[in-house]
Amino acid sequence: MIHTKIAESTQHHINPQGVQVNYSDSVIGAAIFDLSGLPKEYFTTADSGDIGWVQTIFQALGLQSLLISSLQLEGFRHAVIHGAGYCAIVVRQRARYTALLVRQADFKELSSSFVHWMQDLEPTILRANPRFNAV
Task: Report the pLDDT value the prediction gives residue 49, as an integer from 0 to 100.
Answer: 64
Q: pLDDT (tens digit, 9 = 90+) per residue, 44-53?
A: 888 776 767 7
- Cα separation, 61 vs 126, in Å, equals 21
pLDDT in tens, 13-27: 444 343 345 677 788
Asked whether residue 99 carries a pLDDT value surpassing 80, the answer given is yes
Number of H helices, E strands in the chain: 5, 8
Give the residue, 74 or 86, on which the prediction is more confident.
86
In the predicted structure, residue 11 carries a pLDDT above the cut 50:
no
* The pLDDT value given to residue 13: 42
pLDDT the model gives residue 74: 67
Q: Model confidence over 31-83: pLDDT tens digits?
A: 898 888 888 998 888 877 676 778 888 888 877 777 666 766 666 678 888 88
Q: Where are the alpha helices (DSSP H) in the chain?
A: 2-11, 53-71, 104-109, 112-119, 123-128
- CA 105/CA 85 separation, integer angstroms: 8
What is the predicted pLDDT for the residue at 105?
A: 80
